[in-house]
Amino acid sequence: MMIKKIVSLTLLAAASLSACNSNKKEQKHKVVTLNPQHDSLLLVYNPAQADKKLDDYFKEIHKKRNFNGNVLIAKNGKIIYENAFGWADYLHRDSLTIGSKFQLASLSKPFTGTAILMLMEQGKLKLTQTVTDFFPEFPYPGITIKMLLAHRSGLINYVYFTDKIWKQKYKGMTNMDAMALFAQYKPKPYFPPNRMFHYNNSNFMVLAAIVEKITQKPFAQYMQEAIFKPLGMKNTAIYSTAVYEKIPVDVVGHDRNWRRSVRQDFLDGTTGDKGIYSTVGDLYLFDQAIRNSRVLSQTTLDSAYTPQSKLQNKYFGYGLGWRIYTDSLHQQKVIYHTGWWHGFRHIFLRDTKQNITIILLSNLVNGSINQIDDVYKIIGMPVIRRGVNADD
CA dihedral 76, 79, 85, 89 (to 10 degrees): 100
pLDDT digits (tens, 9 = 90+) for 41-76: 899 999 999 999 999 999 999 999 999 999 999 999
At 5 the pLDDT is 42
Residue 132 burial by CB count (10 A; 0-12/13-18/19+): exposed, middle or buried? middle
Q: In what order do the strands lie in the sheet with 323-327?
A: 78-85, 69-75, 356-362, 344-351, 332-341, 323-327, 316-318
Mean pLDDT (the chain) is 91
| Contact by Cβ (8 Å): 62, 68 | yes
Phi-psi region of 342 (alpha: psi -120 to 50; beta: other; left: phi over 0): left
- Comparing 113-117, 139-143, 253-257, the range with the smallest average pLDDT is 253-257
Q: Which of 292, 255, 251, 201 is nearest to 98 (CA)?
A: 251
Q: What's phi and psi for 38, nearest 5 deg?
A: -65, -45
Using alpha carbons, list the distances in angstroms from residue 338 to 35, 148, 342, 350, 369: 28, 18, 14, 12, 11
Cα 358 to Cα 324: distance, rounded to the nearest angstrom:
14
Question: Average pLDDT, stretch 19-23?
Answer: 42
Q: What share of the chain is helix, strand, coil (3-state, %, to 5)?
A: 40, 15, 45
**Domain 36-379 in CATH: superfamily?**
DD-peptidase/beta-lactamase superfamily (3.40.710.10)
DSSP symbol at 227: I
- Which DSSP helix (H) or strand (E) runs through 349? strand 344-351
- Comparing 105-119, 188-202, 206-220, 260-274, the range with the smallest average pLDDT is 260-274
Task: Please name every residue paired with 238 in a beta bridge, in sequence order, or none if there are none.
Answer: 276
Question: Is it the case that residue 26 has pLDDT exceeding 80?
Answer: no
At 28 the pLDDT is 52
Number of H helices and E strands in the chain, helices first, is 13, 14
Cα 46 to Cα 55: distance, rounded to the nearest angstrom:
13
35 pLDDT band, cuts 50/70/90, is: confident
Determine how β-strand 254-255 pairs with β-strand 364-365. Answer: parallel
Cα 219 to Cα 237: distance, rounded to the nearest angstrom:
11
pLDDT digits (tens, 9 = 90+) for 74-123: 999 999 999 999 999 998 899 999 999 999 999 999 999 999 999 999 99
Cα 117 to Cα 104: distance, rounded to the nearest angstrom:
20
